[in-house]
Structure 1
Amino acid sequence: MNRREWIAGAVALAGCGAAESDAPTAQFPIRRGVNLGNALEAPNEGDWGYRIERAHLAAIAEAGFDGVRLPVRWDAHAEAEAPFAIDPRFFRRVDAVIDQALEQGLKVQLDLHHFDALIADAEGQRRRFIALWRQIARRYNQHPDALVFEPLNEPNGDRWRGEALALLQRDALAAIRESNPTRLVVFGPGNWQNIEALRNWSPPEGANVAVSAHYYEPHAFTHQDAEWLGDSAPRYDRAWGSDAEKRQIAEHIARAARWGASRGHAMQLGEFGVNMAVPLEQRAAWTRTVRAACEANEMGWCAWDFAGAFPIWDRERGRFIPDMLDALFG
């Protein structure tokens, strides 16, 4: 299964899962964010055609975003055997991006991305995963609260359901808390962090824990003709944007927001977007609908992505794509 395969259909979140809470729900700190995808999540930065530049972070802040999500493929730059040390040169590169973003007044959501070995070998890679987070957490324990941690992007597959995922997330939080007792830590459900999977999942218990889900529905629309899916890329042989399609998005987001509010969790839609093969007018219309639903339900949002396969930035012209920026802020 591809990392962005999603279960289509209606979401049934309300009234399911953990007990409701009377605690007030804090807002997710990043209200208007963008993912810096395809850069440090590649095997090596630049392999997928994009490198993060200081000027990009300045442009993001100037446009009105208040944060960035930074996907990082940590395991590609760490030893395979204990103590699983992360390459100091790679650490310094991540340092630079974080510090440059913070200098622009942006919050940073630091994410562990594409740890495919962990997904495939749950027990064999568990110690390595925890060791990576102990190192990451220690390195940034003096950074301001504007830096938040997200231990694992899109857990998926039969190995990461139910109790197995709950235990992994609990242990990751414990490792982070050894050096960062109060930093915000963000978790998401299984099934690729699909918004639908919230109903069968709860984040680890404790203070300063928030929830992030992802949204690419309908998958056949957002991923139609996606180059990286090859012959398995879906088709969507009509224009998107009927009243029923817009209502479905509004209902999905509203149910997720109610799920979070009933449990006292700050909520974020941490990824949503449409790939560049889709006509720009359609991409913008879908993006506007999702963004507006998040804001109507007081959920933070973080678009996927800045300059990758779902871009809001035109790399050739060195500027935001006007239609996409308007969809996010108009």
Structure 2
Amino acid sequence: MQRLRLLLALTTSLPLLACGPTDEPAALPDAPRCEIALPAPPDHRLVASGTTLRDALGRIVFLRGVNAGGRSKFAPFVPFDFASEADFQDALDRYLDRAASWGVSALRVPFVWAAVEPSQGMDDETFLARYDALLDGAWKRRIWTIVDFHQDIYSDVYCGDGFPAWTLPFPTPEPHHDCHNWFVRYSQDEDVRAAFDKFWSDEHGARTAFRALWERIAARHANRPGVLGYEPINEPHQGTADLKTWEQTVLTPFYTEMAALIHAKDPTALVFFDATGTDGIGAFTYLDKPEGEGLVFAPHWYDSLALFGGTPAPSNASTYLSRWADKGREWNIPVLIGESGVPRDLETAGEYVTAVYDAMDDNALHFTYWEYSDSKETWNFEDLSLIDYEGQEATAITSAVARPYARAVAGEAPAFRYDAAARRFALTYDAPAENGVTEIVVPERNYPTGYRVELSNGCVDATHPGLLLVRPTAGQERVEISVVPR
């Protein structure tokens, strides 16, 4: 209720948004300019503190990012095309520079086990070095990363991705990624369900090998700057088991086990745990809260109408995403929506994605949009990337994704909202006795003729590209900020 009251205040009682006879917001004085150094926390890691994420300076952090996408699901298992090994670094830089221009603070970076360990007992160091370079390059641009083991319908031998064929005890077809409606194989392909059954039971040792994989992955990235943590498995599936029973008696203990395993190698890492793909449609799960510290609930949410050619109601985003926010409050842990997205050709894509981001802001959710691939070849004909096959942005969607938000707030009870039509961003928070520096991401594309800052007290520094730094006046408890076009 406290957050609801704060959000209501943004549109009613705050002086910077109060409306006069013409219904135009009453302006505060233009904020004084001052020189503010970009804060440098002593550690890159974030800490789960109740439902919030905090940096090493104690600031409340909001993650807004993208998935380093579907192109990572098939060889050479990176989210962009490159002509040769000599071209890899240039292609990586172009890819990350574009992501940085959108103002993202996080990348969820998929890897498939089949890329790491194509033959049992032999890791592919070429792939691992490329993956390392992506993580390192992201942090050079102040983009945090989440290491995500990604699977869909178990393996590429079933027209999916994830587990290597050698984890299957029976003959397998050749890998491929040319299936429309690939997801129906969860319910219609007996081999897919059997593969999951054998994995969860560890009947042929695949789960034992999976634990060993994660021990190596966590140890490899334990000291890598910018890596926030690890997601043990994307959209796990129950096989032939009853969903409710399996989520409570198999999946929940699995996450407890994986959190302990990862923390044994990387004690300060966050562990992001996902719900099933089915859960990600209705925003409902039978999962219980796993045991352990540093946990972040990382479910997905997709509007089925948006995926299957219909016209979804933007209000659906508020309805369903609030359910996941409620689950985070019930468990008292942060919630990151690991995936949500729409096809590029959806007529109402811009309006719809804007509604999704509004719901993320209103519910204080973290978010990584699905997805961002720079590739002429698709995975199973999907068209959810923020750019098309010619490398051109899906303008309506990227305009909705690249929006102002509070990256790090030096205070308590933050609430922010962005009016996309008016291009007006507003943030309020309670400052501590010794005021720190708050960071607001302001993508330059949102304000081509510049912007003006209204501030209740203190000063701002807009000289850092894409960032607005705010330092309140010492001793002032309430801070109110608004960014508006010039």
TM-score relative to the length of structure 2? 0.54
Query: Could you tell me how far apart the structure 2 residues matched to 1:30 and 1:39 are?
Result: 26
Shift in Å, 1:271 = 0.5
User: Within 5 A, what are the aligned runs for 1:1-330?
Assistant: 24-27=50-53, 31-45=63-77, 50=81, 53-78=92-117, 80-81=119-120, 84-114=121-151, 115-116=154-155, 117=163, 119=196, 121-122=198-199, 123=202, 124=204, 125-144=206-225, 146-158=227-239, 159=241, 161-192=247-278, 194=280, 196=282, 198-217=284-303, 219-224=304-309, 236=310, 240=311, 245-276=313-344, 278-279=345-346, 281-307=347-373, 309-316=383-390, 318-328=391-401, 329=403, 330=420
Amino acid at match of 2:52: A
Query: Could you tell me how far apart the structure 2 residues matched to 1:306 and 1:128 are?
Result: 30
CA contact (8 A) 1:214 1:269 kept: yes
Shift in Å, 1:162 = 2.5
Amino acid at match of 1:180: D
CA contact (8 A) 2:96 2:138 kept: yes
When residues 49 and 326 of structure 1 are mapped into structure 2, their CA distance, relative to the original with a 3 A threshold, is closer
Q: Where in structure 2 are there 5+ consecutive unaligned residues?
A: 1-48, 55-60, 83-90, 156-162, 164-194, 404-419, 421-486
Query: Could you tell me how far apart the structure 2 residues matched to 1:92 and 1:30 are?
Result: 29
More strand by share: 2
Shift in Å, 1:315 = 4.8
Shift in Å, 1:38 = 1.9
When residues 131 and 177 of structure 1 are mapped into structure 2, their CA distance, relative to the original with a 3 A threshold, is same
TM-score relative to the length of structure 1? 0.77
Shift in Å, 1:43 = 4.3
CA contact (8 A) 1:157 1:191 kept: no
RMSD (Å) for aligned C-alpha atoms: 2.5
The percentage of counterpart residues that share the same residue type is 24
When residues 183 and 111 of structure 1 are mapped into structure 2, their CA distance, relative to the original with a 3 A threshold, is same
Amino acid at match of 2:131: V
Query: Could you tell me how far apart the structure 1 residues matched to 2:111 and 2:227 are?
Result: 18
Structure with bigger RCO (C-alpha 8 Å, 6+ apart)? 1
Shift in Å, 1:98 = 0.6
CA contact (8 A) 1:86 1:132 kept: no
Query: Could you tell me how far apart the structure 2 residues matched to 1:171 and 1:43 are?
Result: 30
Shift in Å, 1:207 = 1.4
Query: Could you tell me how far apart the structure 1 residues matched to 2:219 and 2:284 are?
Result: 30
Q: Deviations over 1:116-144 (max 9, x none)?
A: 45635322321121111001011111113
Identify the residue that residue 7 of structure 1 maps to in structure 2.
Answer: none
Q: Where in structure 1 are there 5+ consecutive unaligned residues?
A: 1-22, 225-235
Q: Deviations over 1:138-167 (max 9, x none)?
A: 111111354321110000134553311123
Amino acid at match of 1:119: F
Q: Deviations over 1:210-231 (max 9, x none)?
A: 01111111x133233xxxxxxx
